Amino acid sequence: MISIEKPRSLRNLLQAAGLPAGDIPPLLAITDVQADSRTVQRGSLFVAYRGLEFDGHSFIGSATKAGAVAIVVERPPDKPAHVPTVVVPDGRVAWARLCAAWHGFPSRRLRLDGITGTDGKTTTAALLQHILNNCGMSTGLVSTVCIRIGHRSLDTGLHTTTAPPPEVQATLGEMVQSGCQAAVLEATSEGLAQKRLEGCEFDLAVVTNITHDHLYFHGSFDAYREAKAMLFRYLATAFRKPGLPKVAILNKDDPSYEHLARIEADEALSYGKSDADVHIIAVQGDIAGLSV
């Protein structure tokens, strides 16, 4: 088992997450990080952000009454909270980074591969994990249908999007503690748009395709494509791990190719039916012939 050092003082946690510590008392300790006032307990740090249906700022009073000892907000509360307050530009980003810091940034101790796209994400993620296992690596998988940690498989029920930051980071932390060397993470457009994967330090980003789907959530194809592109933007700015370049895998035949290819990466590898680094020369049933 590998131990992950987790900051417990609020000042240390904020600094680890890259957030302003301001005048936070250096000895103020917290017991957990919450974004739902109903789960706040004595000693919690409460993070408020404007959600799709509710505005967390409306529940600051409930959170402090339940025992929150500090709050992170996008705007100062209407009524004095009487607890240390940190104002940030984006509460979702802050929440995700705080969760990553709380768990000791587990993805900095793993090779982390992200898979996005409209179709084939779950299958591609499972195939990649299988390949890594056959290369002798101990791996984990986080998809919308299951979680695998080494040889253990956890049935999470059928989900349609990426889990919230506390679950993602806790799962990655468990992978590290179990001795996993790599993890494969399915990244949905809704999860990316809602900043749930902030604090995930990717080393490989793969796109299957991007078609006109999920516009009920994103509103336009451009917004949908930009949500997918966030995986590659995370890749470009991710924590550097010794010996691991940042690699982008792009579909040369997909209309998203030119847009995604402009995002910085150490290495970019394309695949497609023609004029690609990996050339698909034939498809028979579920088996594709390839040339490199």
pLDDT computed for residue 292 by the predictor: 38
Beta strands at 85-87 and 111-116: parallel, antiparallel or unpaired? unpaired
pLDDT computed for residue 214 by the predictor: 65
User: From the centroid of its chain, how far is CA 286?
Assistant: 30
Cβ pair 109, 176 in contact under 8 A: yes
The model carries a pTM of: 0.91
Question: Mind spelling out the 3-state secondary structure of 224-246?
Answer: HHHHHHHHHHHHHHCCCECCECC
pLDDT tens, residue by residue, 61-112: 999 999 999 999 999 998 889 999 999 999 999 999 999 999 999 999 999 9
pLDDT computed for residue 201 by the predictor: 98
- Among residues 192, 232, 189, the alpha carbon closest in space to that of 211 is found at 189
pLDDT computed for residue 22 by the predictor: 81
**Cα Rg of the chain, angstroms:** 20
Residue 49 and residue 63: Cα distance in Å, rounded?
A: 13
Residue 133 and residue 99: Cα distance in Å, rounded?
A: 28
pLDDT computed for residue 157 by the predictor: 64
Beta strands at 32-34 and 44-47: parallel, antiparallel or unpaired? parallel
Residues in the chain: 292
What residues contact residue 125 under an 8 Å CB cut-off, 6+ apart? 115, 141, 143, 184, 185, 186
- Point out the residues of the chain with pLDDT beneath 50: 1-4, 287-288, 290-292
